[in-house]
Amino acid sequence: MSPRVIQMPLSGGDRKHFARELRRVESLHAEFVKRVDAAYAAAKDQLRLAHRLECEEWNARLFLGGDEAPSPALADAIDAGATLLKVKCNACRATRRVDLTHVIWPRKNQVHTLRPNLFCEPCKVTTDHKVRPMPVGLFDPNPGPEATAKAVRRRNGPGASRILYRCLTAARFEQSERPRSMQPHFLERPATRSRGNMPRRSCS
């Protein structure tokens, strides 16, 4: 039979100290929980940024004519938001976009491993041969406002503003050739009074 352990009662000062320590540890535990959640959230953001940069590096490598392997994993590309794989057929020059979220393929495999299972549908219909398209890059289906503005500037070109200015100038010139009664009010300039025609005040 095990000996009986008798706990000695705590004094009033010891009980107060123990209560203060309990409150302190409880507040520390709540703070640690918040810091752990914040650290995991920051780590996820940094990991997503690393996956995004990996996709951008792969796109730049393909643009420069480098090897398509190694490439980002499907799970990393989806986590980065680059869920569209753009491919191009060298035979018919057709381009297609493959949604990685709808592809039935192991997510741990790299993106370039999808190429043996892809073929150009127009070439298959016309030539009855399965032509393997070349990957172009990974893209985000919902780009941010900065990327949208860059795409608009790239599509319009550097001379778009000059062309728009010429069109506005031509429209303004056509408006000025009309009779004065037909001109809109914003083209009419108010009559300015010269300094010599202004009436002089009398000193009296």
Task: Give the per-residue SS3 of the chain.
Answer: CCCCCCCCCCCHHHHHHHHHHHHHHHHHHHHHHHHHHHHHHHHHHHHHHHHHHHHHHHHHHHHCCCCCCCCCEHHHHHHHCCCEEEEECCCCCCEEEEEHHHCCCCCCCEHHHHHHHCCCHHHHHHHCCCCCCEEEEEECCCCCHHHHHHHHHHHHCCCHHHHHHHHHHHHHHHHHHCCHHHCCHHHCCCCCCCCCCCCCCCCC
Could you read off the pLDDT tens digit of each residue along the chain, which spans 204 residues? Answer: 567 766 667 777 888 888 888 999 999 999 999 999 999 999 999 999 999 999 999 999 999 999 998 999 999 999 999 999 999 998 888 898 999 999 999 999 999 999 988 888 888 888 888 888 999 999 998 876 655 555 545 545 554 444 333 444 444 444 444 444 444 443 444 455 545 555 555 554
